[in-house]
Structures are given as C-alpha cells and as structure tokens.
Structure 1
Amino acid sequence: MCMRLKLAKVKWFSGLFCLIALLTLAGCSEERRTKVVDYPIGKPFMYGNKVVLKGTGTKDELKKLSTDLNNYWDDSARVRKEQRFLLWYRIKNPPIYDSLNIIRSVNFMNAYLNSQGYYYASFKDSIHKDSIGDQIRVNATITINQGKNISIDSVGYQLDDSTLQQLAKQRMGESDIKKGSPYSKQLISAELDRMIGIYRRNGYYKLIREDLYAEIDTTDISLIELTLDPFKQAELIAASARKRRQNPTWNVTIKKRPTTDSSKLTQFKVANIYYYPETKITDVIDSLTTAKGFKEEQHADNYMRFQVGKFKYQPLKEHTFLSKGELFNEESYFKTMNTLGQIGAWQQVDGKIIERDKDSLDLYFYLVPALKQNFTVDLEGSRNTGDIGAGNLFGISTNLSYKNRNVWKRAIQSITNFRTGVELNLNLGNNNSNQQLVQTFNISAGHTFAFPKIIQPFKNWKALSTVDNKRTLLSFNAAYVDRKDYYKLRSILGSWGYEWKKVQRRSDDTWLFKPINVELYSLDTLPGLDTLFLKNPFLRNSFNTGNIYSQSLSYTKTINAANRKSHFIRLGLEETGLIFGLFKGLRNDIYRYIKVEAEYRQTKKWEKSEMAYRAFGGMGYNYGNYPGNKEISTLPFFKQFAVGGPYSMRAWGLRQLGLGSSNTYDSILTSSFRDRYGDMVLEFNAEYRFTMATIAGVKIGSALYSDIGNIWNLKKDPSDPKASFSLSNLANDLAIGVGTGLRLDFNYFLIRLDFAYKVKDPMRTVNGGWMSIKNFNWTDIRSNGREVSNYALQLGIGLPF
C-alpha cells in the first residue's frame, strides 16, 4: 500500500511538472517559438502580416471578414508559417519585402470587399522592421475601415418573354434577394443560377447562364430632377454622396440578353430513352450510340441495348424520373443518373442528350457495372482501462463480409456477414485467482437483401415518389454470446423495413421504418449470475428471457451550413407488444415496452481545429408483464443502455458507470462481473480537436474534452432508490470526466488514444463526488474494499462522435 501511494505521488508531481512546463512554453511569445530558415541575409523579408478591421458589424461578421481578407495578401507578401509540434512554428524561404506587393495586396482586398458589397472602404498600411542578428524582419499590417455594406432596395424581372416572365414571378418567393438584403456578387450570381435552374426544369434546354444578366441601378432619383440653379444642383450632388455613404442602396433587375437564336426560347420535350447497362469503362460513349451488334429490348418508348443480358429492365425504369412527352427537366435528368449510380449495381453512370426534332430530345444513359461480388475481412480492436479489478479489457473481433450487387439481375444488393470476437481480461490474477483470460465470447451471422425500391402490399404511397434512394430491407441474424460463468445468450432476429432519403440543398433526411421486427431470445443464467441474484435481487429484473415483436421508426437529418458548421439529428422510436400483445396466445411470451432515443451533434471547423458537441438521451418504459414474472419492471438487458468505454464517458471502463448514485454494485458485488445497464440515459460531450503536426502524410492531432452523463432505472425500487431517476437528484447523479488524447489520422482511418480523469464520480463518498485538488488521488477504495482507478486509458478506432 505504501509503495502504491509513493507511486501515485511520483505520478502526481511528474504530471504537475509537465503541466507547468507546457504552460510556460505557451506563455512565451509566438516570435520566440518561431524559427526562420533559408532567409535572404542582409535583406528585409516578410516575417508577419496582419489585417485589422476598424469598421462596424457583428462579432461573427467581422471575424469571417478578417479571415477571408487574410487570404488576399499578394503571394509575394504572404508569410507561410508552418506549425510544428503544437507550440513551435517555422518559416521557410520568406519572400523579400517590396512595397509594391503591399499595394497589390490592398487592391486584391478592395476587390474582395467590392464583391461583398463594400464599395466605400478605406485602407492604411503600416510597416515595422526588426533586426535580429543577420535577419531583417518585416511585419506588415493593413488597417481597413470597410464602411457600410450596400443593401438592395428593390429587385425586379424584365425578361422580354411572357413565359419566362411568368415563371420568374411564380417562383419569386424562393429568391434570396429581398429588400434590405446585403448586396454581394455571390448573391447576384446565386440568383442567376436559380433562374436558369427554373427554366431548365421547364424545358428550356438551350437557355444558359450567359443568357441572363443582372442590371444594377445606383442612380439617386433626386438627381434626375431638373434645376437651373447650379448651387442647388451642387447641394443635391453632395447630399446624394452623403446618403450613399450613410445608407447605400442599389436596385437589381434580372434581364435576358438579346439573341438571334430562337431555339433558346423553345421548350423541349422528352422523346425516346436509351439504356446501355453493360457499358465498359473503356468504351467511347459517342461511338456506342451508332455501334452495331447490340441486342435491343423495347419497353413502350424506352430501349435497353446490351450484349450479354446481365440486367433486367425493371430497375432502370423504376429509377428514371423522366418519361416521353413531358417537358425536359434537367434536374430530373441528373437525378436519374445519380440515383442509378447510388443503387450499387453500377459504378459509373454517364448521360448524353441528342436533339431529335426542333423541340424533342433523345436521352441516352451509359451504365458501367460495378464488380458484382466481393469479399472483405475486417479486424477491429479496442482497449479500455477504467477499473483495476476488472476494467482492464482488450477486445478483438473479426468481421467477414460477402456482397453480391446484382442478385437475380435486378440490381438487388445481398450482404452476408459473419462476425466473431472475444473480450480479454488483461488483469488476470491481480485480485481474483479465479478470473479467466477470455471474459466474453460472441459469434454472429447475418444476411440482408436490399431491394432498390419500396415493396408495398397495398396501393403505392404517392408521397414516396419525391424521395431518393428508396430501399426495402429484409434481414436475418443469429447470434450467440457467452459471458464466462455468468450467462449464455442466444438470439434469432428477422425484420422487414423501408429506407428512403430526401436530399435538399444543404441537408439530407433519412428515414428507416420497420413495420415487422421479430427477435427470439434464449438466456441461460450460470452459477456466477445466480449467486449475484441472491446478493442483489433487483439485478434479476434485467436478466430475463422472452421474445420481441416490434415496430420501429428512426429519422436522421444532416445539415451542412454555410458557416462551416454541421449538424446531425437522430430520433428513434421502438414499440413492442402493443399489437401482438392483444393475442392471448402470445401475451405471456413477449415483452411489452416503448423505447425512445434522441441525439444531436454539432461540429464547427476552422483551418486546423474544430469544436464538436453531442447530446444524447434515451428512455425505455415497460408497460407490460415480463414472461414468467409479473413483478419485473425494467427492459431486458440487451435493450437497456450502458455507458463508459472508448466512445462514451471515457473516464470509466466499458459498462462501469451507474446506476445513478447507487453504490449497490460496489458494496455487494465482489466478483469480476460489474456490468451496469439502465432504462434511461443522459449524456453530454464537448470536444476541442486540433492538428499538431503532419509527418509523412499522417496528421497527428490531439483533443481536449469533457463527458457528462449517467444511466438510471426508470421505475423506483424501494431497495435501491438511488438507482432510479429523480430530477431533484440529477446534479448528484451526473458523472463528469475530462481528458485529452492523441489521434493519428491516416485519412482512410483514425487511431485514437484517450486519457480521461473522473472529475466528479457519483460513487465517491466524500466531497459530494468531486475530485479534491488538495488530496489528489489516482485511485479510490470502494466500500467493499475494492480499488478502482480515477482515470481510464481508452484505445479506439475513429472519432468518438
């Protein structure tokens, strides 16, 4: 015990010394931590450049403007500073200082400000020279008052064609140009793109972006008034100039350029559609159109040309969003190519349009088949150390996968998986001589058919005609889990479901609905678990056997905002027993519960760093009697929530946190089985990620993070009240961990090593669960005498969220 305390003290002083050294280095000026190599001796060279904004605006607007303006330094005035090993920087081959480069930089910045609607900006540059040894360092600063942004006073359309004018007015509400909107060239360009998109979706195949332009009117109408008094005219001009600077406004009118080509105003219709589903990657598309030797199938007004016959016509027709006789829609044309390419049966889809008559178009689709079958082997590993007694675990698993991308020639995807893995106890013999090396063994096999359409038993649902990537999923899975000395779980699962996606401009919505989900379970409790039941009867609630007949619905939304922010939202609902529980023959053999989950993630990225947030909550409520035991009121353990490990509450070992602030697991259980499961979970995560260096193409990064959360039972148990969720006790129940880590990013995968410390542990009996700076400890002693770590080291693949 004495040796352990000395070791903890050495670790504490070593960690404190490293922290002080790191803070001291960080406190040094960046100039002292920057090394210049290959510089011109005896000549002034660019060492630093900075843009300072003095104008008005919100904090976010000024920050974005300043960041963008720093990208407009002339190449010969730009300082390229490389970050090396977190705190150190290097400048290699700095450019020689030349005042003309500063002038060019001002011109570039002014042009950029003009494009953003700032036409009254003022610039002032300052040059500061420092001599250090044989180096003459130049720091250039450009101070900018960007003035006030020009706003749009009115927007109109003058297109000299009644149909074009009518379409523009019908869709005017979709425009981002509104009265009072800040003017920018990007905004005008986006409006011209929007207008062309409208027309090309309505048959105007030959109308292009260059046929439209925006006329900007900056005239002050008060200057048009005639006056014979020159002094009055001068006064009006001066007043107009002041008005433009104080509140500059412009009028925008979208117009069509004059043209002699009458076909630009012709609305084209779709004629015939041709498919080439066996195109080779080496084929020249132009020659295929007239090539001989193809077999041809005609289906109404569509044609399929092939040589071998690897595909049926049906999946081609089902994923084509154009038909003969309707106006050509460019959006539907590209959607057809994208959808056919996303099915999986084809690796590449190209298209070609040929004018047939004065107002008709033949469409050709050339599809290159993907490799029909492939076999993959994946090896996965994870390590977490969160418990001296049993939390030092190493998991390894192998996943074998076979995929067929064109079952029955109908582009149906077939996936077969075989997975096996073990969980090893690396603390063998430390506290319990009866512990085994293999703690958990699992094996599973599954098969899934993905049909590239919605298969409905009744009339087709018209609302699904507008969504993308529609699939029907038929899945089967069988699994076996052996938790040594405690339980053996066998399961057979089958489900029928539908998946579809709605793709929008900056977001994607994905739905997964399973109207039929059948799960059959068989649980054998072994002597180790039976012994625990005697010590903790409530534990028996989770380890029960039965079957599940359920329906589930999940919704996922991803949003990629323009300000480098991304959002992820996931909602899930599962209900079991509501319908099938009405049948008396099944009522006593199935579970009856409802389970909901919600998750939100946000990421904001900068050049070399990002900030990530996550909030997750879940709850399962048992509203029926469990098979064979009417007193059980929790979910089965394989449907409950657990936290801890490399991807959740990283300061705790896998499944080693909870329930609430109950110490039942610590005071009663002395064996190696301390897995915790709950009916409710709350978790909040924040992580700042940054890149330290890049070596041989591998990005070396780190992170600072905090995890907050816990799990609870939903229904109260008089024998263990602290394990149940209570809003009044939430502050006491929440666990808090903080940490840092090392990430090796190989682009195609990322290896993560995280270290976390328990800042607040609900199991601590002193200081309200909070850590003590004065009496800092790396370990704690539980009420049953077991020693647990206050930290955890986690090894994972990929980001935690």
Structure 2
Amino acid sequence: MKIRKTIKYLLGILIMSLTLWGCTGLRKLGDDEHLFSGSKIEFDSVQFVTEPGPTRSELKGLVKPNPNIKFLWMRPFLSIHNMVKEPEKEKGFKYWLKYKLGKPPVKLADLNLSQINDAMVNRLENRGHFHAFSNYEIINRRKTASVNFLETPQKPYIIRSISFPEENTGLARQVFGLRDETLIKTDKTYKLSDFEKERNRINKVLKNRGYFYFSSNYLAFDADTTVGNRQIDAQLIIKPDIPPDARNAFRLGEIEVFDDYSLQDYNPDTAAIDNYLYLSVNHNYKPKTILDAIFLEKDSLYSREMHYSTLSHLMGLGIYKYANARFIKADSGSNILDVGILLTPYKKMSLGAEVSAQLKTNNYFGPGVKLSFKNRNTFRGAEMFSVNLGGRFETQFSGDNVGETNFEITLDGTLSIPRFVPFKFGEKTVRKYVPATNITMGGGLFYRVQLYELHSFYTSLGYHWRSSEKISQVFKPFDVSFTNLANSSKEFDDYLNKNPTIKKSFDEQFILGSSYRFTYSNLYKRKNRTNFFYSGSLDVAGNITSLFTTAIQGYPPTSENQHQILGVPYSQYVRLRNEIRFFINRNTRSNFGFRVIVANGIPYGNSSILPYIKQFYVGGTNSVRAFRARTVGPGSYNPPDSLSNIYVDQSGDIKLETSLEYRFTIVDFFKAALFVDVGNIWLASEDEQRPGGKFNWNTFYKEFAVGTGLGFRLDFSVVVVRFDFAYPLRKPYLPEGERWFFNSGESSGDWRKNEMMLNVAIGYPF
C-alpha cells in the first residue's frame, strides 16, 4: 500500500515538473546567452578578515543586477515576462504584467564583472586590507551561468596613533577639544567608515556651538602608512580653503515668528513679545502657545539641536501643515544670523469618513463606518477636540449559526491639550516631542442579536509624553468605565446561571482605577541588523475606592460581602501585560520576527474575577491564527456541544503566547511569511463549570495550542492586506496523547481539508 502511494506521489511530481518546465524561463535565451544564476564570495586567507560576515555581505551587495528570483527550479516572474507579448504602450495592465509583476531576464552579459571586481578591491581596502586582490571565475551550466569571486585580502593595517590640529584659532581649538571622545581607537583595524563617523561626530558638535556654515566635508584625514609593520599614523586636518564663514561661530539676531504664513497676499501685524517679533494676520493662536515651542533665543549661539527641536515641537502641536526656519546673515561683515520661522497652518475644522469591512475567523463578516470631526484649535492654544461616531454590522456567513448578526454603535470625544494640565512644569523645557493631556469621554452599545445587549460608558484623564524617539509613556491617573448587561435572552440567562463565574464577570464591570503604559521601540530603524519592541502596561483598580468605602462601612470589602458605589459593585484588581517583539533582518528582502506576550490579572478585595472587558483571549487574526477568534482555552477546557449555538468568548486571567514568522519578499509589494503560533489562557482560580481551566505549574506547558501556516501580504506601504492560511498542529482541549494532529488519527488529507483557517486582516500581526 505504501509503495503504491509513493509511486502515485512520484508520478504526480513528475507530471507537475513536466507541466511547469517552461517556468524555468530559459526557453527564450539565444544560443550564446546565459541567464545569470547567482554568485559566491570566497576568501583564500579568511584569517586576515576581522569581520567575515559583514565583509562578505558588503561584497555580495556589489554584484548587480540581482539574478531572477527562483523558487525550486522555477523562475515564475521571468516566465510571466516571457509569456506576455510586448505591450504597445508603456502603461496599462499589459505593461504592468510584463514589466512590473514580470521581470525581464538578467543575463550574464548584463554584469560588468571587471567593474564589480575593482569595486570589491576598493571595499577591502576601505576595511584596511591594502593591496588586496580579487579575481573571478565564470561557471557555465548549459543556459545558466554563475560567478565565483575569490578575494585575497592582505593582513589589515592597524591604527598606531591619531592626532588633532593644534593651531591656536577658534575653530581649531574647538576641534582639538573633542579629541578625548574620538571614535578612532589605536590598536584597532583601519576602517574608512570609522573616519567618516568621526567627521560626522565633530560636525554635529560644532553645529551645536554656533558653526552654522561648517560641514563635515571641511575635515580630512592624512594617513601615513610608511611607519612600517602595517601600521598607520592618522592626522585630522581642517582643510585650508574652506569658506571664511565656516570658521566662525554665529549668534542669533532678530527672530521673527509668522504664525499663519502664506505665500499669497500676506500682510501680517507685528508685535514684540519676549525678544521675538510675532507676526500674524488672523490672530488665531495664543502667542504663548507658539513661543513656548520655540527654543531658539536671541543672542545665543546657533544650535542645530535647538533648531530641529523647535521644528519638531511646532509640528507636534498638530495645527501646522509645514514648519520651516530660515537663517540669513544680518549683514555681510557680522557673525549674526536673523531667523524667520514660517508656520503654515491646517484648516481649523475638518470632517472625515471611513468605510471598512472585516472578515473574522469565527465566520463573521460585515461593514463598518466611522464619521469624525476635528477642531484643531479649540481654545486658541492648539487644543484638539475630536468626536468620532462609529457603527459596525456583521453576520455569520457559515458555521453553526448562519445568519446570526451583531452590531455596534460607539460615540466618543477627546480633548487633547499640548501640555501638562493643570501643572506648569516643563512649559519652556527643551523638548523635541510635545507632551499631551488627553480628556476622553465616550460610550457604546453592542448588540449580539438574540443573545444579549451591552451598554458601556467610559471617561479618563491621561498624560502622554515621549522621552526620546524610542521611548513613550502614558499615565492615566483617572480611568473609569462602566459596562452594563442591559438585556439578555432567556437562553443566555440560563447559560450565565449555570456559569456563575462568567456571570460575575458580566455583572461586575464598574472600574475606577489608574493605568500606566511604557513602550520602547526602535522598529523605525529599518536598516538595523536587529529591531526590538517592548510594551508593558499596569492597570490598578478599586484601591482608592476601597479605602473610601471601608472608611464609611467600617469594614474592608470581600468578594462575598461586596461594597457598592451607586448600587453597583466596583471592580478591584491589578493587571499586568508585557509584550516583546524581536526582529532579525537578514537583508532588505527577508527577516525573522518573534513575539512573546505574558499577561496576568489578579482580582482581590471586592472582586473574585476580572471584569469581562479586562480578561485575556487567544485565537484570531493577530493571535494563534489556526483557531477562531477567542476560542482557545482556558487551559484544556472544552466547551460542551450544548453551547455551540451560543457564541461566548473564552477568556482567562493569565495569558502566554508566542509567534515566530519568517517574512520574505516575492516581488515588490507581494510578500509572504511562514509562521508558527503558540499560546493559551488560564484561570487564576478553580471554576467547576470550566474544568481544566485553572493554571497549574505542573501541566500548563502541556496545554498550549499550536498552529502553523503560510501567509501572503499585499504591502502597499500605506496599507497592508494580509491573507494567512493556518492549520492547527495541537489542540489543548483534546485528551492527552491525542492533542497533536499526527496522534489524532486524522489523515493528512482530511487534516488539510477540514482544519484550514483563513485569516483576512489589515496590517501585520505584529
């Protein structure tokens, strides 16, 4: 039986190979033409190379153009190019298909091998391997050809000493004073990039000390390689022919601020305010709001840092479309720069509308709409007031409850003030980023037809600020929400009565608390070898309320003897969530992504369970994708078939989840990923109605849900449309010994047919 099955598979592969033979893309090559298939870089004296990996990658990057993309034996995009006839115009679908999706053949003759060879020698010498050699060999294989480059790097040169200019002039003294922080280290291998970084470092410091017209190009290094023993004495020099202004430090003169600048018919009024000339036509903004964002001061030395911080802060106010600073010499003989800060505002008020559609893994699909209003300058101090009205409708198009519908309506308003209110500290502190005080209030209605209806209200006071490009923080000292189960069907009431723990999570959703979130991210540095993201949040609720009610009642609250506010039990808990993302960028076309989520919520005092809206979930498009949204867990709990007609989210107090993705570009915006997801949720306390749901240190590792799959992404930069096909490898609710799919008795064919889960979403999962 196995032999027949093997023969069947081999015949299938043979037939497929013959069918796709044309996909090699070689049939249109001429008799003397060879398709370039790739290159190899080898060193014949690798012991001399201090950084073999980066050096090989740098040399590999010189081999251009890149070969046609190959998948197994096929070159699908070259084949598309070959199959499509030449279009008559350089536009339209046919042109896009042949030259954008399809790719023309990259032939060996397209490579300038001599030029590439010389460039490799240059790069080796830039890394200290002076007098290096590079040779290449062409390997022909019928209609393809590859190139092997053999590099002969000599023993690298070492920095013996570094000296700075010692002339007794203003500029030379400034440069000499920076010698102790030099990036050029003695006894280290010579690298041209280190000298370029050193020039940029010095230029950056000088720019903050008034040297407005200075440039890193005005610095040069003399390298003496004649000292022997493959050593270098390096000397930094200031080029003698630089412009006179580049040798002088400049101070700031008059500073003019145009708060509503326009190129057309602009005749502003002028007022002198705190050493600034403030110019405005419409007088829409309080001058203090604008001037507090300007860190350039009259009579001070020019500073590039203050210059850029000013522009960044002004743009961060959210009221300006453009912010520019113009520096002009006051007169030809002085070292004074007059400044003009030109600010072009947005329209004060705007209306917006968004239409969306959502397809969920629980087979719900439906449209959504959001209407928004913004006032960017509510009280003339750059305060932004926004109102959003949203609605969403969805229906189940397949599964056990076809036709079941849900809808949601939300209304919220936010007043964002670009400073800390009511505090005065830091108003004129130099900040590149604008702090904000956010006051939010809103409510919503969620209706799961024929089951229940939830009404919600929330309000908060929060402070948001950035410490740097990488670090942002949010603190909400006042964070209140109330969610009420307004209506429910008899069927849903029966379910809650049979599950008192879940019933309490719906009943006790009056939250009076505070929260804090810390985020570190360098994901914006796309050229880094690695990227890291961390987000940690802490929610605490009910503690101050408990002190207040205890003082009134005379005894502390317990979950059996609860205190109430306005006739409703309030929630008391602490909730901690941590998320880490780590990316290893192999090159510009592929990377590995890794995510871990560890979260825990602990109810105490007045509560025995977390509020429903604060519990954790697993499953869905951004979680374990092989399972429907919010259907995994808790633990090994398996909902009975009697609940199949009541769609209830499976939730818990503890969450552990991780995902691993290998992402790669197929062509341009068309990308793909292989992924594995692992995760589950657990309960902190025993629940008789959900056996197997409690977290246990001895068994939790046996209760993870595991899924894997292949995803395709249309990455248009502004929006990413994602299609992830996922299969469950391990189901935690099955009996032990049967949880892995290969132990379940299900054939691989049935598994692929019955278990595939399609996730359609906007954006990457992490």
What TM-score range do you get, normalising by the shorter chain?
A: 0.7 to 0.9
1:172-211 mapped onto 2 (5 Å cutoff): 175-211=182-218
Letter in 2 for 1:557: Y
Is 1:580 the counterpart of 2:545? The answer is yes
C-alpha distance in 2, partners of 1:445/1:19? 61
Q: Is the 8 A contact 1:341 1:348 kept in 2?
A: yes
Give 1:658 shift.
Answer: 0.8
Within the alignment, does 1:217 sit opposite 2:182 as a pair? no
Would you say the 8 A contact 1:85–1:693 is kept in 2?
no
**Secondary structure of the equivalent of 2:467?**
strand
Q: 1:540 to 1:377 in 2, by over 3 A?
A: same
Residues 342-370 of structure 1: CA distance to partner in whole angstroms, max 9, x if unpaired? 32211111211122362332211111222
Report the equivalent of 2:411: 445
Structural mapping, 1:146-161, within 5 Å? 146-161=153-168
**Alpha-carbon deviations, 1:695-745, whole Å to 9, x = none?**
xxxx33322111100111123446656212222112211110111123223
Q: 2:420 & 2:73 partners in 1: Cα distance?
A: 52
Give the Cα–Cα distance (whole angstroms) in 1 for the partners of residues 54 and 665 of structure 2: 21
Q: Could you say if the C-alpha distance between residues 670 and 773 of structure 1 is closer, same or farther in structure 2, counting changes exceeding 3 Å?
A: closer
Distance 2:760 2:110 in 1: 51
Match of 2:454 among 486, 489, 492: 489
Q: Does 1:798 align with 2:763?
A: yes
Does the alignment pair 1:114 with 2:88? no
CA shift for structure 1 position 139: 3.5
Aligned length: 712
Counterparts of 1:186 and 1:21 in 2: how far apart (Å)? 51
Name the CA distance, whole Å, in 2 between partners of 1:18 and 1:646.
36
| Match of residue 383 from structure 1 | 359
| TM-superposed deviation, 1:756 | 1.3
- Is this contact kept in 1: 2:38–2:67, CA < 8 A? no
Give the conservation status (yes or no) of the 8 Å contact 1:496–1:516. yes
Question: What CA distance in whole angstroms lies between the structure 1 residues aligned with 2:527 and 2:663?
Answer: 20
Q: Say if 2:634 is the partner of 1:651.
A: no
**Distance change in 2, residues 1:199/1:19 (3 Å):** farther
1:418 is matched with which residue? 389
Q: Hey, what's the Cα distance between the residues in 1 that align with 2:533 and 2:15?
A: 35
Between the aligned partners of 2:644 and 2:107, the Cα distance in structure 1 is: 69
Partner residue in 2 for 1:318: 292
Measured in 2, the distance between the counterparts of 1:362 and 1:773 equals: 78
Equivalent residue for 2:602, pick from 608, 611, 621: 621
Matches within 5 A, 1:354-373: 354-356=328-330, 358-373=334-349
Q: Which amino acid aligns with 1:601?
A: R
Q: CA deviation at 1:426?
A: 1.9
Q: State how 1:226-245 maps to structure 2 within 5 Å.
A: 240=228, 243-244=229-230
Tell me, yes or no, if structure 1 residue 534 matches structure 2 residue 497.
yes
2:580 partner amino acid:
Y
Counterpart for residue 636 of structure 2: 661
Higher mean C-alpha deviation, range 271-280 or range 769-778 = 769-778
**TM-fit CA distance, 1:49:** 4.8
Q: For 1:670-681, what aligned pairs fall within 5 Å after superposition?
A: 670-681=644-655
Residue 774 (structure 1) shift: 7.8
Taking the TM superposition and a 5 Å limit, the aligned residue runs for 1:189-338 are 189-220=196-227, 240=228, 243-244=229-230, 249-258=231-240, 263-280=245-262, 282=263, 293-338=267-312
CA distance in 2, matches of 1:791, 1:548: 39
Alignment match, 1:288:
none
Q: Distance in 2 between matches of 1:616 and 1:60?
A: 38
Q: Secondary structure at the match of 2:195?
A: helix
> Who is 2:480 aligned against?
518
In structure 1, the residue matched to 2:314 is 340
Q: Where does residue 765 of structure 1 map in the other structure? A: 735
Per-residue deviation, residues 722-773 of structure 1 (Å, max 9, x unmatched): 2122221122111101111232233332222222111111111252411126
Letter in 2 for 1:658: G
Distance in 2, Cα, partners of 1:381 & 1:59 = 55
Unmatched 5+ residue regions in structure 2? 79-102, 554-562
Is contact 1:52–1:142 with CA below 8 Å preserved after alignment? yes
Distance 2:11 2:180 in 1: 57
After superposition, what is the alpha-carbon deviation per residue over 1:34-60, rounded to whole angstroms, capped at 9, x for unaligned?
Answer: 324765x45455634513222437999
Give per-residue Cα distances to partners, 1:528-550, cap 9 Å, x unaligned: 33211333333223222342222
Q: 1:23 to 1:45 in 2, by over 3 A?
A: closer
* Residues 657 and 679 in structure 2, CA contact (< 8 A), matched pair in contact too: yes
**Alpha-carbon distance, 1:201 to partner:** 0.5
Counterpart for residue 230 of structure 1: none
CA distance in 2, matches of 1:199, 1:721: 69
2:42 is matched with 53
Check the 8 A contact 1:84/1:693 in 2, yes or no.
Answer: no
Using the alignment, how far apart are the partners of 1:405 and 1:57 within structure 2? Answer: 62
The verdict on how the C-alpha distance between 1:525 and 1:172 changes in structure 2, with shifts beyond 3 A counting, is farther
Of all paired residues, the percent bearing the same amino acid is 23
Deviations 1:383-427 (A, max 9, x none): 234xxxxx3222432222222323233322222111111231223
What amino acid is aligned across from residue 520 of structure 1 in structure 2?
A: F
Q: Is the 8 A contact 1:644 1:656 kept in 2?
A: yes
The 1-side partners of 2:402 and 2:38 are apart by 63
Aligned-pair CA distance for 1:269: 2.3
Structure 1 window deviating more from structure 2 (604-613 vs 588-597): it is 604-613
Find out whether 1:81 has 2:81 as its counterpart. no
Q: Please, what is the CA RMSD of the aligned residues?
A: 3.6
State how far apart, in whole Å, the 1-side matches of 2:755 and 2:339 are: 66
Give how far 1:562 is off. 4.8
Contact 1:25 1:87 in 2 (8 A): no
1:178-233 alpha-carbon deviations (Å, 9 max, x no partner)? 3444432222111111111111101222333233222323343xxxxxxxxxxxxx
Which stretch has the larger CA shift, 263-272 or 646-655? 263-272
- Higher-RCO chain (CA-CA 8 Å, sequence separation at least 6): 1
Q: Is the 8 A contact 1:53 1:146 kept in 2?
A: no
The residue matched to 2:211 in structure 1 has which SS?
coil
Give the one of 515, 523, 533 matched to 1:552.
515
Residues 176, 558 of structure 1: alpha-carbon distance in 2 compared, 3 angstrom cutoff: farther
The alpha-carbon distance between structure 1 residues 361 and 475, as it changes in their structure 2 partners (threshold 3 A), is same
Quick check: 1:37–1:93 contact (8 Å CA) kept in 2? no
Distance 2:383 2:416 in 1: 6
Distance 1:451 1:273, change over 3 A: same
> Structure 1 residue 333: deviation in Å?
0.7
Partner of 1:67, secondary structure, is helix
Match of 1:603 in 2: 583
> Matches of 2:749 and 2:415 in 1, distance apart?
50
Q: Distance in 1 between matches of 2:9 and 2:467?
A: 54
Is the Cα contact below 8 Å between 1:200 and 1:330 reproduced in 2? yes
Aligned counterparts of 1:760 and 1:463: Cα–Cα separation in 2: 57
Matching of residues 55-70 of structure 1 within 5 Å: 55-56=45-46, 61-70=51-60
Q: Which stretch of structure 1 is more off in the superposition, 720-729 or 185-194?
A: 720-729
* Distance in 1 separating the partners of 2:202 and 2:531: 28
Distance change >3 Å, CA 570–CA 180, structure 1 → 2: farther
SS at match of 2:311: helix
Cα distance in 1 between the residues matched to 2:293 and 2:105: 55
Measure the CA separation in 2 of the matches of 1:372 and 1:637: 40
The residue type equivalent to 1:396 in the other structure is P
Does the C-alpha gap of structure 1 residues 207 and 19 become closer, same or farther in structure 2, counting only changes over 3 Å? farther
Q: Return the letter of the residue paired with 1:634.
A: I
